[in-house]
Amino acid sequence: MMSEVFVVSDNIISPMGFTSAENMLRLKQNRSGIALHENTHFSPSPFYASLFEDNAVFLKDNNNVYTKFEQLLIASITDGLKNTDIDLRNNKTVLIISSTKGNISLIETEAFNRELQERVSLHESAKRVAAYFDHPNKHVIVSNACISGVLALLTGMRLIQSGQYENAIVAGCDVITKFILSGFQSFMAVSTQPCKPFDAERDGVTLGEGAATVILSSNKKYADKIRLAGGSVSNDANHISGPSRTGEELALAINKALKNAGVAASEIDFISAHGTATVYNDEMEAKAISLMNMERVPVNSLKGNYGHTLGAAGLIESIITIHSLQEDIVLPTKNFNESGVSKPINICSTLQSAELKNVLKTASGFGGCNGAVVFSKP
């Protein structure tokens, strides 16, 4: 029998707050970190995004050793560990880091040479973060487009269940740069307004930045905590940037995640969707939910609050899902007014109270990747 995996602690650092509690409070107030920015370093024209203030301090003892990306990871992990007795110096603990772009901003400001090539690499950032915590074990990097955070959680769960580790520190981060923003702009994928997930007038993503940490353990003393019950991934094999037109592949990932968790589709009480507010992603997700006969299950997207935080999105949104499960609430989908998807799924547009036992988190990304994880109350 596989070990049960419990969520011991967590942290979110975002423009809406530097702890999970602060973020939950803002979300219940229907707040958003998205604002209009006029920053010619990022873009010649104004753009909407959820960005940290220029003078934000994440790590007081930085000494110019760590980049913004690394500072955010260190600060998030530190806060996540704060109220636990789990030690990153223990050989029973693994460090897993998820990101899509890491230190890519350095290519905008530094001379290109071999040293920069190394500094930009994700494994170099992970090595520096691990060294900060005197972590002795081999760390793991997960970089699989926008399912990176969800896949990192699943990787942590599997490493624990394999018996290799008792604890997993799963941290994710991405910061928005000119390189990233211009890439999405080149796809004509950036919304001209704060994004509107699943809405009839949605016209693209809004980008955001942030970091998050989830601490997992199989130690039975945490048996009263929320459980990461199961998960799975799949791939559309459809197009490098366009998702499946049928939703069958995400439905496959959901179905396998439910089986892995030992939960029936009828037992899912709430779905935290990826909900990027692009025309094709939201349509695909709606079709996948419909294929699983889950049309009546309340669904939300947090992209209208956080923007799309890329490699951190799966973790940030999983943490909010976990806290929603603990508090028996379903948060609204900000900026949603009228459904613009072809399947009649139950988009939550107001803060709701509900008896929650099992919840599903989904994610999808470039390259056709899909991920799904299930969280359950003890």
61-80 pLDDT tens trace: 777 799 999 999 999 999 99
Read off the pTM.
0.97
**Arithmetic mean of pLDDT over the chain:** 96
Using DSSP, state whether 341 is helix, strand or coil.
coil
Sheet holding 227-235, edge to edge: 140-142, 93-98, 167-174, 210-217, 6-13, 227-235, 369-376, 358-365, 270-272, 298-300, 346-347
Q: How sure is the predictor about 218, in pLDDT bands with cuts at 50, 70 and 90?
A: very high
pLDDT band at 112 (very low <50, low <70, confident <90, very high): confident
pLDDT at 261: 98
Q: Is the fold of 6-222 the same as that of 227-376? A: yes
For domain 227-376, give the CATH number: 3.40.47.10
Question: Nearest CA to 141 among 122, 128, 124, 154?
Answer: 122
DSSP 76-99: HHHHHHTTS---TTSTTEEEEEE-
Q: Is 85 exposed, middle or buried (0-12, 13-18, 19+ CB in 10 A)?
A: exposed
Across the range 359-377, mean pLDDT stands at 97
Q: How confident is the model at residue 244 (pLDDT cuts 50, 70, 90)?
A: confident
Right CATH for 6-222 from 3.40.47.10, 3.30.1280.10, 3.10.580.10, 3.40.50.2000: 3.40.47.10
H/E run at residue 256: helix 248-261
**Domain residue spans of the chain:** 6-222, 227-376
